[in-house]
């Protein structure tokens, strides 16, 4: 088990370090799609023998690294390793003739190293290091095509990522200063929060260094807010979501599936790891509950005003992460609801990950049909039928994991004793109908995409890879969606959550929104003029960014470059007026490789 634990992170890290040597790059490209196999094996062994919990502690890098597999980590590892493997096999064929294929797989394994490291990290410092590697490596996937839209999306992603990392760094340092060193998850994290909240030593505050950290740790709400915001950027919590609908449509299909299915879950896992469970923090819980509800509704409303299938999926991810934020808010509000709320959130994350991964891969298969000479109704209909399976799951159809996750979340909310409880219950019903409408919009746009003379990126007439290389991983993820009701419930079920509703629990509030949404969508398709001008409303991806991007640029760079207030801003002025990456690829790659090398040396020590 310890060998698998080490291999899960070391294998992709070593493949990433092979890229500076040109003779080793073909080996890296050949092995990169399979780099997630040790992680998948580790997750399966963990669930086969739940009594064994492997762990490693490596004393290096000043503070050391702690890796291990626990209950929530095992569930997220199963999802992540499976999707990384499926996406890697898909990308192997999808990028068979891509001139930037080597660069794609370099960033692919770097991001995988960070993502699996985040899941296996058992202390805050290790978590932060792997989180930073994952965050900045994903930038290379976002800008892969290097066209104008990709560069703009990458620029926004990088700005948001740096802001999120700064917030996280201050929050992490505050918790570490209270704990007097690297703080582990679980009891150590609870003790750190108890000290931060003044519950240690009979109510006295924990001793912290003076200066800036002293002022930060004086306010536990500020520390929690920094951590919520830092992880909220990755999780796509509104209004920190603006990078997500810009990045998803321009990233390669496999990268989009991973961004939505796995990487944004790292923000959710960060919340679950750092927020206290045994101590209630009402301000934090209330903020997450309200922000999650607003995000869930906002994602649906803006998503319905999109004209591109991958943009609709991006806003759907924003909306679904809102529900997971609501469940996380319950953890901070009511410690007694923690087992039920945690099970609901994890089941929601697992179901959403495989369903959204399947939908993005559906788009990729459609984009490759013309190049394979398969642009015929005989292939178009099976693909749309396959895409319908995750659509129904996300809409909460009966006998799907989506229904299971939503009823579990509703069950947790019922236990929340507040005047909001009835309103939140009605909100979940309305939200389910909105999700179904959003999925209907996606199917319409996917059907339109199948009728394009040529889809995807690359030169027209480019020879296609064998279709099985795309279809096999897509079908495998579809199979995981169909079987999700059987495996999701076994991924993480604390004994205290045994009273939650099961798969056969189907009150009218679970199937009625889907039925009404289906009727409304069918009516609009049959009679397009039903909604009038409302049907023609369109909101560009990035939504609220449009209100601040241009005014901010005019404010900072209205005059010549020499009028900019600082050399750094003059550099930004030149970059934002051009259409090139805001960072040299060579410099950026060296930075990431240096971080990967440091983590690899720690693991090999």
**What phi and psi, each to the nearest 5 degrees, are found at residue 399?**
65, 25
Q: Could you report the average pLDDT of every consecutive run of 10 residues in the chain (605 residues)?
A: 83 87 87 93 82 65 74 90 95 88 92 94 88 91 89 86 86 78 78 69 42 58 86 90 90 93 93 82 84 91 89 93 90 80 89 94 83 61 88 86 84 71 75 87 84 47 59 93 85 53 58 70 62 66 72 54 44 47 54 61 54
Query: Which stretches within 180-281 are classed as H helix?
Result: 187-196, 212-217, 220-235, 243-250, 253-258, 264-274
Structure confidence at residue 165 (pLDDT): 86
* Domain assignment of residue 10, yes or no: yes
Angle (CA) 296-239-403 rounded to 5° is 15
Cα radius of gyration (the chain) = 23
Answer whether residue 587 is part of any domain.
no
Answer yes or no: is 31 within a domain.
yes
pLDDT of residue 34: 94
Task: Give the torsion through C-alpha atoms of 370, 390, 313, 263, to 10 deg.
Answer: -110
- HEC assignment per residue over 485-520: HHHHHHHCCCHHHCCCCCCCCCCHHHHHHHHHHHHH
- ∠169-173-175 over CA atoms, to 5°? 120
Contact 455, 362 (CB under 8 A): no
Judge whether 300 and 437 are in contact, CB under 8 Å: yes
Per-residue model confidence (pLDDT) at position 275: 84
CA gap 362, 371 in Å, rounded: 15
Q: Which residues form the domain of 407?
A: 2-536
**Among candidate residues 174, 182, 184, the one with its CA nearest the CA of residue 209:** 174
Instruction: Look at residue 580 and tell me if it is in a domain.
Output: no
Indicate the helix (H) or strand (E) that contains 367: helix 338-368
Residues 6+ apart with CB under 8 A from 141: 104, 107, 108, 111, 251, 252, 255, 258, 259
Instruction: List C-alpha distances in Å: 339 to 157, 402, 496.
Output: 34, 19, 6
Question: By the 8 A CB rule, do 92 and 469 touch?
Answer: yes
**196 vs 337: CA distance, rounded Å:** 22
Residue 412 CA, distance from chain mean position = 23
Instruction: Specify the pLDDT at position 204.
Output: 37
What pLDDT does residue 421 have?
66
Closest CA to 275 of 421, 179, 175: 175
605 part of a folded domain: no
Q: How many CB atoms lie within 10 A of CB 239?
A: 13
DSSP result, 99-159: TTHHHHHHHHHHHHHHHHHHHHB-BHHHHHHHHHHHHHHHHHHHTTT-SHHHHHHHHHHHH
Tokens of 409: 């979340």
Q: Are 228 and 288 in contact (CB under 8 A)?
A: yes
Number of domains in the chain: 1
Would 545 be classed as within a structural domain?
no
Distance, CA of 227 to CA of 222 (rounded, Å): 9
Enter the tokens of residue 170. 């201050």
Cβ distance 101 to 30 under 8 Å?
no
CB 175 within 8 A of CB 190: no
What does the longest C-alpha to C-alpha distance in the chain come to?
Answer: 74
pLDDT number for residue 368: 77
333 assigned to some structural domain: yes
Nearest to 43 by CA among 116, 100, 104: 116
Query: Which residues 6+ apart lie within 8 Å of 314 measured at CB?
Result: 244, 245, 247, 248, 249, 260, 303, 541
- Give the residue among 345, 351, 446 at the shortest CA–CA distance from 395: 351
Q: What is the pLDDT of residues 5-34, one digit of tens each?
A: 888 988 998 898 888 888 888 888 999 999
70 within a domain of the structure (yes/no) = yes
């Amino acid at each position: 088990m310890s060998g698998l634990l080490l291999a899960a992170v070391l294998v992709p890290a070593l493949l990433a370090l092979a890229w500076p040597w040109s003779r080793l790059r073909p080996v890296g490209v050949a092995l990169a799609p399979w780099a997630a196999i040790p992680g998948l094996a580790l997750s399966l062994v963990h669930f086969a023998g739940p009594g064994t919990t492997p762990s490693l502690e490596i004393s290096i890098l000043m503070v050391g690294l702690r890796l291990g597999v626990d209950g929530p980590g095992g569930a997220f590892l199963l999802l992540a390793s499976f999707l990384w493997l499926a996406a890697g096999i898909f990308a192997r064929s999808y990028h068979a003739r891509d001139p930037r294929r080597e660069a794609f797989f370099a960033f692919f394994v770097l991001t995988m190293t960070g993502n699996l490291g985040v899941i296996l990290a058992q202390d805050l410092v290790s978590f932060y290091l792997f989180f930073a590697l994952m965050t900045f490596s994903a930038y290379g996937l976002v800008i892969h095509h290097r066209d104008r839209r990709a560069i703009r999306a990458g620029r926004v992603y990088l700005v948001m990522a740096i802001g999120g990392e700064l917030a996280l760094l201050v929050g992490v340092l505050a918790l570490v200063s209270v704990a007097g060193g690297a703080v582990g998850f679980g009891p150590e994290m609870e003790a750190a929060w108890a000290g931060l909240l003044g519950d240690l030593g009979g109510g006295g505050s924990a001793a912290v260094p003076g200066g800036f950290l002293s002022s930060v740790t004086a306010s536990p709400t500020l520390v929690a807010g920094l951590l919520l915001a830092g992880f909220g950027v990755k999780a796509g919590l509104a209004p920190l979501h603006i990078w997500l609908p810009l990045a998803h449509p321009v990233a390669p299909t496999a990268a989009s599936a991973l961004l939505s299915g796995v990487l944004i879950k790292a923000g959710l896992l960060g919340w679950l790891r750092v927020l206290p469970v045994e101590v209630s923090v009402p301000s934090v819980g209330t903020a997450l509950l309200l922000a999650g509800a607003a995000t869930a509704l906002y994602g649906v409303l803006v998503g319905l005003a999109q004209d591109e299938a991958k943009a609709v999926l991006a806003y759907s991810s924003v909306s679904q992460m809102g529900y997971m934020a609501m469940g996380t808010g319950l953890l901070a509000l009511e410690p007694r609801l923690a087992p039920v709320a945690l099970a609901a959130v994890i089941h929601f994350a697992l179901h959403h990950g495989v369903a959204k991964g399947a939908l993005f891969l559906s788009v990729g298969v459609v984009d490759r049909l013309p190049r394979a000479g398969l642009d015929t109704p005989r292939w178009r209909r099976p693909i749309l039928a396959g895409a319908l399976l995750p659509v129904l799951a996300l809409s909460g159809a009966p006998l799907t994991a989506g229904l299971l996750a939503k009823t579990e979340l509703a069950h947790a909310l019922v236990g929340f004793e507040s005047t909001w409880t009835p309103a939140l219950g009605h909100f979940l019903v309305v939200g389910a109908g909105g999700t179904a409408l959003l999925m209907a919009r996606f199917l319409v746009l996917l059907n339109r995409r199948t009728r394009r003379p040529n889809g995807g990126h690359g030169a027209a007439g480019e020879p296609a890879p064998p279709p099985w290389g795309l279809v096999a991983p897509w079908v495998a993820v579809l199979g995981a969606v169909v079987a999700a009701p059987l495996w999701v419930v076994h991924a993480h079920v604390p004994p205290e959550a045994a009273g939650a509703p099961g798969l056969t629990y189907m009150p009218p509030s679970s199937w009625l929104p889907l039925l009404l949404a289906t009727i409304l969508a069918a009516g609009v398709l049959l009679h397009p003029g039903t909604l009038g001008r409302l049907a023609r409303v369109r909101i560009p991806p990035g939504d609220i960014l449009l209100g601040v991007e241009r005014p901010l640029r005019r404010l900072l760079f209205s005059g010549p470059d020499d009028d900019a207030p600082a050399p750094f801003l003059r550099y930004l002025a030149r970059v934002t007026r051009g259409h090139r990456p805001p960072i040299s690829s060579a410099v950026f790659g060296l930075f990431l490789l240096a971080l990967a090398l440091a983590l690899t040396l720690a693991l090999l020590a």
